[in-house]
Amino acid sequence: MAIDDLNREMAVNSGTVTLMTGGSGGIGLGMAHLLAARGHRLILVSRDLHRLHEAAAELQRKYGHEVHIHAIDLSERGAAQRLFEHTQRLGMQIDVLVNNAGFGIVDEHVEIDSAQLERMLQLDVVTVAELCQLYGLAMKQRRSGRILNIASTAAFQPTPYFAAYGAAKAFVLNFSEALAKELEDHGVSVSCLAPGPTDTAFFDGVDPRRIAGDHFFGKAQRAKTADVAAAGVELLLSGGLTRVVGLTNQLMIMGNRFSPRALTAAVSKRMLKPLEIKQGGHEAR
């Protein structure tokens, strides 16, 4: 069976089980609603147990489907293996894996706390690769399954003041496209969604004075969570390779491909530079 045929069959199969990391809010919860409406059974994963309970109760009340939750910090070493073992104990076959959990740090790279940097790279890079390996192998063996990894428009160019995060998302983009080709002959589709700034809790840890007003990450520039979630579900069900969300973002990335790398990096620096650095000096923090 072709991958597209497999996806269409699974999309209407009420027995489909979807594992959603970062499922207690934002894009992950938005996608969970859309998938629950299509009959998917859900396993929502995040480190916030209270928000997981709230999300599960809301989904069960609205759609009447089974929703499992699991609180785990995927930024810890070994967390992917522990999550895999948990779903094995549940006896639930994971038909769809959505790697949505992630966070970024807006700052000069040399100023970032080393422990926070390690946590970010563990979550955004290592855990994604490990979950794809663990669940991808099971999908390959039964010749059925789908994986959606959430990257970012930051994956397509250097991102000063967002340097490690952008590099992590470049990994997710290239890893996803390579893995898609490895698994496509085994009935498994792998897709990558690349949204730009989105109106989620992603920026809650950033001092709003640093990204206020007309800054690239300012609230007015952020996409609606529902629009990004809808794009993710559409990509997941169609089995496409990579999708950049939003026409403006698509045009920007197309322009990057034809621009010298030095120019692209300089433009990114101007767009991403935190406001107090632009104005001179760091605030105490």
Q: Per-domain residue ranges for the chain?
A: 3-278
Query: Residue 249's pLDDT is what?
Result: 73
Give yes or no for residue 32 having a pLDDT over 50: yes
pLDDT per residue as tens digits for the range 49-86: 999 999 999 999 999 988 999 999 999 999 999 999 99
DSSP E strands: which ranges in 127-174?
A: 145-150
Torsion of CA 248, 129, 88, 141, to 10 degrees: 100
Give yes or no for residue 273 having a pLDDT over 60: yes
Please tell me the distance from the alpha carbon of residue 74 to that of residue 198, in angstroms, as a whole number: 21
Q: Which of these ranges, 29-33, 64-68, 164-168, has the smallest mean pLDDT?
A: 64-68
Please tell me the distance from the alpha carbon of residue 144 to that of residue 121, in angstroms, as a whole number: 29
Say what percent of the chain tops pLDDT 90.
Answer: 67
Please tell me the distance from the alpha carbon of residue 51 to that of residue 58, in angstroms, as a whole number: 11
User: Can you tell me the mean pLDDT for 99-112?
Assistant: 93
- The secondary structure element, H or E, covering residue 192 is strand 188-194
String of DSSP letters for 41-86: EEEEEES-HHHHHHHHHHHHHHH---EEEEE--TTSTTHHHHHHHH
Contact 136, 147 (CB under 8 A): yes
Q: What is the mean pLDDT of the chain?
A: 87
pTM of the predicted model as reported, rounded to 2 decimal places: 0.86
pLDDT per residue as tens digits for the range 199-217: 566 665 566 556 655 555 6
Write the DSSP symbol of residue 239: T
Please tell me the distance from the alpha carbon of residue 54 to that of residue 163, in angstroms, as a whole number: 34
Question: How far does CA 70 lie from the centroid of its chain?
Answer: 18
Query: Residue 106's pLDDT is what?
Result: 85
3-278 belongs to which homologous superfamily? NAD(P)-binding Rossmann-like Domain (3.40.50.720)
**3 contact partners, CB below 8 Å, separation of at least 6:** 184, 187, 188, 189, 239
Confidence band, pLDDT 50/70/90 cuts, at residue 3: very low
